[in-house]
Amino acid sequence: MPDYQTIYNEHANQYELLVSREDFQDNIFRSIDQVTPLTGLDVVEFGAGTGRLTCLLTPVVDSIFAFDHSTHMLAVAVEKLKKSDQKNWYIGVSDHRRMPVPSEFADLAISGWSISYMVVDHPATWQVELVQALNEMQRLVKLGGFVILLETLGTGCETPIPPADLLEYYAYLEVQGFQRSWIRTDYRFPDRLEAESSVGFFFGNEMLEKIRQDEHGVILPECTGIWVLRKE
């Protein structure tokens, strides 16, 4: 199992295969759209990766400016977006703490499974790094607009069991006024061979015991938290 930085810098296609199997219930789009109806919005995305959220939102938003620090991951996102008939997207390389976007440009600033790396990658100074990223998200959002963060609340879990190394981060968000809800975003693979390959590659072999099979495919449960803050 490679470390996450190696995956993001060298294994974008394998990562994309894994995340393309997540949320077969289609809960992510519905949940975001319930917070703020997405049709016609201007969106800035932090940590776009291979374009999972970007491709989900592009068909309905007015514009989406999606950024990531990994050119390797973004190359996959661009390839996917070019296959669509949408022209309302822009992909760029940027750090979460310094986005090349004007203040109060966006109706929505969103990040999926990415702001947490301000904590994971900077264990000694995570609050300083996190505040910079969150402030940048708020800078870009208009009054009345929203900041939305999606993060894991437990892979292989039927109900939320947050990772221990993110508990302080999640508590900090709620102290800052973020409201949390959660949804199931289970992975569904077409067969056990792909499930074991993808799950072992990204999560490690110990996660393989969490896989279960039903009449529709091979399932790995996943709980996802959604943290929402409205700029007022």
Share of the chain above pLDDT 70, in %: 100
Tell me the mean pLDDT in the region 86-97: 96
Pair of tokens at residue 93: 């390389």
Range of the structural domain that residue 102 is part of? 4-228
Share of the chain above pLDDT 90, in %: 95
Q: What is the pLDDT of residues 63-83, one digit of tens each?
A: 999 999 999 999 999 999 999
What does the CA dihedral 98, 99, 101, 103 come to, rounded to 10 degrees? -50
What's the chain's average pLDDT? 97
Tell me the mean pLDDT in the region 206-232: 95
Per-residue confidence at 125, pLDDT binned at 50, 70, 90? very high
Per-residue confidence at 32, pLDDT binned at 50, 70, 90? very high
Is residue 199 predicted with pLDDT exceeding 80?
Answer: yes
H runs (alpha helix) in 44-187: 52-57, 71-82, 117-120, 126-140, 167-175
Tell me the mean pLDDT in the region 130-144: 98
Is residue 55 predicted with pLDDT exceeding 90?
Answer: yes
The per-residue pLDDT for 154 is 98
Give CB contacts under 8 A, 24+ apart, made by 172-179: 172/127, 172/130, 173/149, 173/227, 174/227, 176/134, 176/229, 177/229, 178/147, 178/149, 178/227, 178/228, 178/229, 179/227, 179/228, 179/229
Q: What is the pLDDT of residues 101-122, one digit of tens each?
A: 999 999 999 999 999 999 999 9
The per-residue pLDDT for 229 is 98
The string over 4-20, giving b where at least 16 C-beta atoms fall within 10 Å of a residue's C-beta and e elsewhere, is eeebbeebbeebbbbbe
- Specify the CATH number for the domain of residue 223: 3.40.50.150
H, E, C per residue of 170-227: HHHHHHCCCEEEEEECCEEECCHHHHHHHHHHHHCHHHHHHCEEECCEEEECEEEEEE
Is residue 141 predicted with pLDDT exceeding 90?
Answer: yes
Tell me the mean pLDDT in the region 34-49: 98
Total domains, the chain: 1
Per-residue confidence at 4, pLDDT binned at 50, 70, 90? confident
The per-residue pLDDT for 215 is 81
Is residue 1 predicted with pLDDT exceeding 80?
Answer: no
Tell me the mean pLDDT in the region 203-208: 95
